[in-house]
Amino acid sequence: MTESGDETVTLKPLDPFALIVDFRSGALEPHTSRTERRVSDMHGAYADEQALSQLVKDGDPLVYEVLQYDVPEEVGQLICCTTVLQPGTVGDEYFMTKGHYHAARDTGEVYLGLSGHGYLLLMTEDGGRAAKSMGPGALAYVPPYWAHRTVNTGEEPFVFLAVYPGQAGHDYGTIEKTGFPERVLRTPEGVVLR
């Protein structure tokens, strides 16, 4: 227990741990949670809602999964997880994560590319925007206040590690309303950000 002024912060004891990350597959062992998102979980995210409905009818493929060894969602903790984003498109738009702001806006995040290729799209509520190319070894910094979404532009799974503060939380609602300024499209000329 630590005391600072009037505030008392209690951290639950947590033993040190070491996990094994398979850079190619994104497997994290052991993990205590696995979140999967299928095409049917992505309504509203892609421009081509008709293509999305067709994909749902055709078997509702997996878009991505997040593997995590859970720690308390508290100040002082760091959450570590791997994301495995499958290759594919909805219409001409590459598979991507939902994307989120942190509920606690003043928290950042670090992404490390492990395998495959894609983009990290970022934006702020006051009009900031950025896109970072991601591949094996790319270390991307998401500053506080920046929403973030990843996109797989390759032919194999795009796998990355994320580390972020325990209290961050996920705000998906704001993205559902505003979307991201850029869409990442498969075109005959190659990958286009539009």
Choosing from 43, 57, 129, 170, the residue that interacts with ligand M6P (CB under 6 A) is 170
**Contact flag: residue 66 with ligand M6P (CB under 6 A):** yes
Residue nearer to Zn ion on the CB measure, 57 or 170: 170
Q: How many CB atoms lie within 10 A of CB 86?
A: 16
Q: How many residues bind ligand M6P (CB under 6 A)?
A: 10
Comparison of 133 and 189: residue with beta carbon closer to ligand M6P: 133
81 binds ligand M6P (CB under 6 A): yes
* Per CB under 5 A, 109 contacts Zn ion: yes
In 3D, which of 62, 69, 63 has the Cα closest to residue 33? 69
The C-alpha atoms of residue 171 and residue 104 are separated, in whole angstroms, by 9
Instruction: Give the shortest CB-128-to-ligand M6P separation in angstroms.
Output: 18
Side-by-side strand order, sheet with 129-134: 129-134, 118-123, 147-152
Among Zn ion, ligand M6P, none, what does residue 97 contact (CB within 5–8 Å per kind)? Answer: ligand M6P
Q: Which helix (H) or strand (E) holds 174?
A: helix 173-178
- The answer to whether 20 and 114 are in contact (CB under 8 A) is no
> Is residue 77 involved in binding ligand M6P (CB under 6 A)?
no
Coil, strand or helix at 61:
coil
* Sites of contact with ligand M6P (CB under 6 A): 66, 81, 83, 97-100, 109, 162, 170
Point out which residues bind Zn ion (CB under 5 A). Answer: 109
